Amino acid sequence: MATYDWIGDAPAVAQVVSFTVNYGTGGDIFTITINGKDVSVTGVTSTAATVAALVIALQASTIPEFAEVTWTDASPELVCTADTAGKPFTATAAVDGGGDGSIDASPSTTTANAGPNNWEADNFKDISDGSRGTLPGATDTLYFRNNSINLKYGLGTACVALAIYIDASYDGEIGLPATDSDGSVEYDEYRDRLMEVTTANVILYVGQGQGSASSKIRIKAGVNVDFYVTTTGVSSDDAGALEVLCDGNDIDILHIADGSMTVSTTGSDQIALVNMSGTSSLVVRGNIAQIVTASVLDSALLDTYANVVTMTMRGAPLVTVRSFATNDNHSIYGGTLTALVGGTLTTLLIAPGGTFTTEGMSGALTITSTTMDAGSTLLDSGANITFTSAIDLGAGGLNDVVLDLGRGHDVQKSYP
């Protein structure tokens, strides 16, 4: 149960790998691939001539991924060296043409990539004795604090720490953007972009303490992860400072006191509990099955493509819901809830100061039970809502609420 600090000061070492080439008896095409892009040559008379031809073609390539590597001839070896020490690359090879030539499908590693931005043991310090050389284990605690060193590479290696603290005093970035802009020509990033947190029931604490906090943290979450977000830095894009990919795993607790966050998924996951306050911002998108319970307070902003089974709004939050499901129950004690898609909402309570609107909605929404207290607002100018039962005005009357149901309706009293 050790505690580790991310230090990020390992010396930068350029990656070196090599492919063994065999010309065979001729007629084959030799191809090197990076990021789904190819450079190919037809075998030339001998192994040595073929390696030489590969080097010429690879060095001349204007494909940006290939331009990050220096290709040299050590026949029968094709040697590949990263131009930037500490920045890895992944190349594969294939041979085609029906002959008996060959090339390694995956290269042999002469020198592994290393550096201050890499997930490697030398970048972590055991705070009990200052030792290096060990990655955090499944019962350990990991801190990112008091530095600005980005963690960018080796992210496919699982982070198995039991608790992870990314304090406000850490203002580096974790993970990679979708586009690599290091060179003169951009390309879609092909390296692992997210820090993989794989241990079940991990707790991540983000933004505790003093500091400007990180403006970009990219996490691939394991099973039943809890997030406690005190604050984040200011994100430079609309994805938020904290990006989380569930990828088939549920989130138990997501508590955001302040800051910006996006949760997405490629599977059918759920978030059990969302608590938002302050000026926090959360976008939930992808195939998230549902948010079970949400409490949205103060001036928080929630935009969800997942339905919310039970939601309570207080203060002046702004909530956009893009999915509804039977048994959803929403209580608006303050703020505005905008419904943008149809479906079924079981219970809607709009208290004084609360607003429910369908402006911009596509589709039809059925609400089983609707209650409007005096001082509440319901806007449905496009007549998207079908009310299964009469709107309950409680002890108030029509003059006590703002109610826009569009045109062409009859109004009839209903007595309890």
Q: What is the DSSP string of 340-357?
A: -EEEEEEEEEE-TTEEEE
271 exposure class (CB count in 10 Å sphere: 0-12, 13-18, 19+): buried
pLDDT (0 to 100) of residue 238: 86
- pLDDT-flagged residues of the chain (< 50): none
252, 278, 295 - which closes a domain: 295
Same domain for 164 and 281, yes or no, is yes
What's the chain's Rg over C-alpha atoms? 28
Same domain for 169 and 278, yes or no, is yes
pLDDT (0 to 100) of residue 415: 63
Same domain for 371 and 225, yes or no, is no
Same domain for 329 and 290, yes or no, is no
Same domain for 336 and 268, yes or no, is no
Same domain for 285 and 248, yes or no, is yes
| H or E, element range at 320 | strand 318-321
Residue 105: φ, ψ to 5°: -65, -40
Q: Does any domain span residue 280?
A: yes
Same domain for 52 and 106, yes or no, is yes
111, 128, 145 - which closes a domain: 111
pLDDT (0 to 100) of residue 396: 86
Same domain for 176 and 65, yes or no, is no
Same domain for 288 and 152, yes or no, is yes
Same domain for 146 and 105, yes or no, is no
| H or E, element range at 92 | strand 92-96
Report the first-to-last Cα separation within the chain, whole angstroms. Answer: 62
279, 295, 311 - which closes a domain: 295
Q: Does any domain span residue 399?
A: yes
As beta bridge partners, residue 296 has 276, 313
Taking alpha carbons only, the member of 313, 302, 292, 293 closest to residue 260 is 302
Same domain for 205 and 169, yes or no, is yes
Taking alpha carbons only, the member of 17, 228, 20 closest to residue 244 is 228
Q: Does any domain span residue 228?
A: yes
pLDDT (0 to 100) of residue 289: 81
Structural domain boundaries, residue 384: 324-416
Q: Does any domain span residue 319?
A: no
Question: For the chain, how many structural domains are there in total?
Answer: 3
Same domain for 279 and 184, yes or no, is yes
Q: Does any domain span residue 303?
A: no
Rounded-to-integer distance, Cα 357 and Cα 117, Å = 47
Q: Does any domain span residue 306?
A: no
